[in-house]
Chains A and B, each alone.
Chain A
Amino acid sequence: MHGEYKTPGGKLVIADFEVEAGHLRQVMISGDFFLYPDSALASISGALEGLDASLSEAEYADRIRAGMQAGAQLVGTSPEGIAIAIRRGLVDPA
């Protein structure tokens, strides 16, 4: 699955993943955003890994936010933006 979302005036976030038995697998989040520290990216994709593919955008965003370490900052996108990309990947896998 592949979903993209560009925050207006911000950056592009891309979600690439598989859906196996109704769960997100092999989630890869990428894009031209900024993130501090680098390692927070693994926390974000880790938070999404294995999640039910039927969650709402808000639920994905909450899980992402909860998975990010204290003090980590996304610049140019947001947990909501990443959730939109996931949602788009689920809805329109092409």
Chain B
Amino acid sequence: MSERRRPTDDGRQPSLPELTGLPREEIDRRWKGQEWHLLPPTPLSPMMHTALDETLTLRVGRGERLPTLRFWQWSGPCVVLGRFQSVRNEVNEEVLRAHNFDLVRRISGGGAMFIQPEGAITYSIYAPEEMAEGMSFPESYAFFDAWVIDALRELGVEARYEPLNDITSANGKIGGAAQARRGGAILHHATMAYQMDGPLMSKILRVGKEKLSDKGVQSADKRVGPLRQQTDLDRDVIIHHLIGHFRARFGLVDDVLSRVELEEARAAVETRFGTREWVYFLP
């Protein structure tokens, strides 16, 4: 297991080769060696989004879809739980329902996402497993997050990667990533806060003192540093820039979700993602 890389004594952030254990040329080769397809923001329900993440990961693993970058468009507010979180420990369900939030669970681990459609920027990367070859899980998080940090910095946002899976800044956490591995492929997805209703988040999400103690802050909403604090750019403009950055750097073929993919995801909502069993019970 690799050591966690911290800023060096002179405050320098570790380089990506240092964070991943891979030489720069190898990092570039792995990204540029794939034909990346783009699925632009498409409004879907939170449950469809989480189901689609599994569907598309499996399809990439089977070679039925090429590696893909997908941007999400949220059709309504929700909380998305990580695979190993318990409902009772993480949300005040009565408050959540009173505010008409959906409650869904994703296939990747990590923490609870508090989502209001215009307040969040979410994307998924579906990649073949060989892209992470030779890296530990922590190293692979740095590997898959690096491009978006570079793209944000181009916009003048002071963003940096912080192990294990945070995209952060001096103002607080911008976003976080999560990863799942299925059928020979990797799902690496991230959500960033564009703007945040901190008080509402504090009412809906339960964040105990233990979680806050390591970060040295008093309350949950102060931990978040939404992008809006650092830029006047519209959310759509930021998304457009992220896509443009990825396209310029690694290439992107414009693509759409197929009917079969949507049907598979809908079936997965029926049989799994929409069931009480999935949302309320742990593996």
Name the residue on A nearest B166 (C-beta): A9
Tell me if B84 and A32 are in contact (CB < 8 A): yes
Return the CB mask of A8-49 against B: 1 if under 8 Å, else 0: 111110101000000000001111111110110110000000
Given the interface pairs A32-B111, A34-B137, A73-B137, the reply to whether A9 lies near B86 with Cβ below 8 Å is: no
Tell me if A36 and B137 are in contact (CB < 8 A): yes
- Which range contains the number of A residues in contact with the other chain? 20 to 34
Name the residue on A nearest B215 (C-beta): A6
- A60 contacts B by Cβ under 8 Å: no
Count contacts on B: residues with CB < 8 A to the other chain.
Answer: 27
Secondary structure call for the A interface: strand
- A67 contacts B by Cβ under 8 Å: no
Tell me if B164 and A6 are in contact (CB < 8 A): no
Q: How many Cβ-Cβ contacts under 8 Å join chain A to chain B?
A: 72
Which stretch (B146-154, B206-214, B249-257) binds chain A? B206-214
Tell me if A32 and B210 are in contact (CB < 8 A): no
Complex formed: what's the CA distance from A29 to B208 in Å?
Answer: 16
- B272 contacts A by Cβ under 8 Å: no
Given the interface pairs A30-B282, A34-B137, A75-B138, the reply to whether A6 lies near B210 with Cβ below 8 Å is: yes
Tell me if B282 and A32 are in contact (CB < 8 A): no
Name the residue on A nearest B212 (C-beta): A6
- B65 contacts A by Cβ under 8 Å: no
Footprint of B on A, CB under 8 Å? 4-6, 8-12, 14, 16, 28-36, 38-39, 41-42, 73, 75-76
What 6 A-B pairs have minimum CB-CB distances, sorted nearest first? A34-B109, A32-B111, A30-B86, A4-B210, A38-B283, A75-B137
